[in-house]
């Protein structure tokens, strides 16, 4: 994952084709009230270093910063220019996963101990909106509309609640104020705004009722009310798991919950006995085989 030309190209400027793999997020506000950079998790699929171009598959962190000399004081001199730059930042902040971009960026080595499975940091000077070479897929557009709808539904809530509700439901922390985010970290409640198995358990409980009775005649949930057979119940549950992955984004905790849920649904479909510990062990094994980077303990 960390191979390829990028780790050895620190300090050089490269042209890269990247695929966005996560939702854009804003860094902390800088001193003086200037907005922080926009951060993007992405995967480089093609890169030109010097005169050499090659296909790669390297995870990176894209950091979109303002050009030198374009601080908040200078921007405030002209309202039109300020609005234009804000629109450009919105273009980066509104990107959806699976969007393909072409960027010109400076390669920066990750901070020691903070690599987090990435090959490099690509620093893009904000010289305009992103150059999109491929639109996001239909599933990601649908998931984006659902997340936008939840944010709009929460917009009328008072105070911090408008940003906290999407965070609690789908792990969307984009609406949290810096003060609330710091308070969540300081009180050790970060787990409350990270989507995990408990969220998926609630979703599947609506379908199959109490998990212990999922394959019995007295099972509950919508599947029993609709008279769905076990195999059809498992297929519908599988669709819910996929939708859960798309809407909540496939972070490590979400992937673990989804694979555990998929194994449990397979047991429902085949009528086999289910046990939590073997399902969890199988989920961990499958995930590490699929993406060894998930075993990286660095934050």
User: Where residue 55 falls among pLDDT bands split at 50, 70, 90?
Assistant: very high
Classified by CATH at the fold level, domain 7-136 comes out as OB fold (Dihydrolipoamide Acetyltransferase, E2P) (2.40.50)
Q: What integer pLDDT is reported at residue 147 of this predicted model? A: 92
Range with lowest mean pLDDT among 23-37, 96-110, 164-178: 23-37
Is 277 exposed, middle or buried, given 0-12, 13-18 or 19+ CB atoms closer than 10 A?
Answer: exposed
User: Where residue 85 falls among pLDDT bands split at 50, 70, 90?
Assistant: low
The packing angle between helices 197-208 and 230-248, to 10°, is: 150
Pairwise CA distance, residues 174 & 3, whole Å: 31
Is 178 exposed, middle or buried, given 0-12, 13-18 or 19+ CB atoms closer than 10 A?
Answer: exposed
Q: What integer pLDDT is reported at residue 135 of this predicted model? A: 95
The packing angle between helices 138-154 and 230-248, to 10°, is: 70
- What is this structure's pTM? 0.77
Q: What integer pLDDT is reported at residue 199 of this predicted model? A: 87
The better pLDDT of the pair 278, 71 is held by 278
Q: Domain-by-domain residue ranges, the chain? A: 7-136, 153-192, 195-295
Interval 139-154: pLDDT, tens:
999 999 999 999 999 9
Q: What integer pLDDT is reported at residue 32 of this predicted model? A: 53
> Per-residue pLDDT for 17 more than 90?
yes
Two tokens, residue 298: 């660095």
Q: What integer pLDDT is reported at residue 77 of this predicted model? A: 46
Q: What integer pLDDT is reported at residue 226 of this predicted model? A: 87
Q: What integer pLDDT is reported at residue 127 of this predicted model? A: 60
Q: What integer pLDDT is reported at residue 72 of this predicted model? A: 42
Q: What integer pLDDT is reported at residue 150 of this predicted model? A: 92
> Per-residue pLDDT for 104 more than 90?
yes
Two tokens, residue 247: 């809407």
User: Where residue 136 falls among pLDDT bands split at 50, 70, 90?
Assistant: very high
Q: What integer pLDDT is reported at residue 223 of this predicted model? A: 85
139: region left, alpha or beta (phi > 0 left; psi from -120 to 50 alpha): alpha
The packing angle between helices 230-248 and 252-270, to 10°, is: 170
Average pLDDT over the chain, rounded to an integer: 81
Q: What integer pLDDT is reported at residue 217 of this predicted model? A: 55
User: Where residue 264 falls among pLDDT bands split at 50, 70, 90?
Assistant: confident
User: Where residue 71 falls among pLDDT bands split at 50, 70, 90?
Assistant: very low
The DSSP line for 196-214 is -HHHHHHHHHHHHSSGGGT
> Per-residue pLDDT for 79 more than 60?
no
Interval 56-70: pLDDT, tens:
999 999 999 875 444
Range with lowest mean pLDDT among 5-9, 136-140, 218-222: 218-222
Interval 159-206: pLDDT, tens:
888 989 999 899 888 888 888 888 888 988 887 788 888 888 888 888
Q: What integer pLDDT is reported at residue 103 of this predicted model? A: 94
């Amino acid at each position: 994952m960390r191979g390829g030309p990028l780790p050895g190209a620190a300090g050089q400027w490269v042209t890269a084709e990247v695929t966005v793999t996560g939702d854009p997020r804003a860094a902390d506000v800088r001193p003086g009230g200037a907005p922080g950079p926009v951060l993007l998790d992405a995967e480089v699929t093609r890169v030109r270093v010097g005169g050499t171009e090659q296909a790669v598959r390297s995870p990176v962190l894209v950091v979109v910063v303002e050009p030198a000399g374009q601080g908040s004081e200078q921007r405030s001199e002209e309202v039109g220019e300020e609005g234009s730059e804000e629109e450009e930042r919105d273009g980066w902040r509104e990107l959806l996963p699976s969007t393909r971009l072409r960027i010109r960026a400076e390669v920066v080595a990750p901070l020691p101990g903070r690599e987090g499975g990435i090959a490099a940091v690509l620093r893009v000077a904000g010289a305009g909106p992103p150059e999109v070479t491929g639109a996001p897929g239909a599933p990601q557009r649908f998931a984006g509309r659902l997340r936008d709808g939840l944010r709009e539904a929460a917009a009328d809530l008072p105070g911090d609640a408008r940003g906290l509700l999407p965070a609690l439901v789908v792990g969307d922390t984009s609406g949290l104020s810096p003060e609330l985010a710091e308070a969540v970290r300081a009180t050790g409640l970060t787990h409350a705004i990270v989507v995990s198995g408990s969220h998926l358990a609630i979703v599947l409980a609506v379908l199959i009722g109490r998990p212990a009775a999922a394959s019995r005649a007295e099972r509950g949930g919508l599947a029993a009310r609709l008279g769905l057979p076990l195999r059809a119940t498992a297929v519908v549950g599988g669709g819910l798991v996929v939708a859960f992955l798309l809407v909540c984004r496939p972070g490590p905790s979400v992937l673990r919950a989804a694979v555990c849920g998929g194994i449990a649904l397979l047991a429902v479909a085949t009528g086999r006995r289910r046990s939590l510990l073997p399902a969890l062990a199988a989920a961990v094994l499958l995930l590490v085989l699929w993406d060894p980077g998930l075993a990286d303990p660095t934050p």
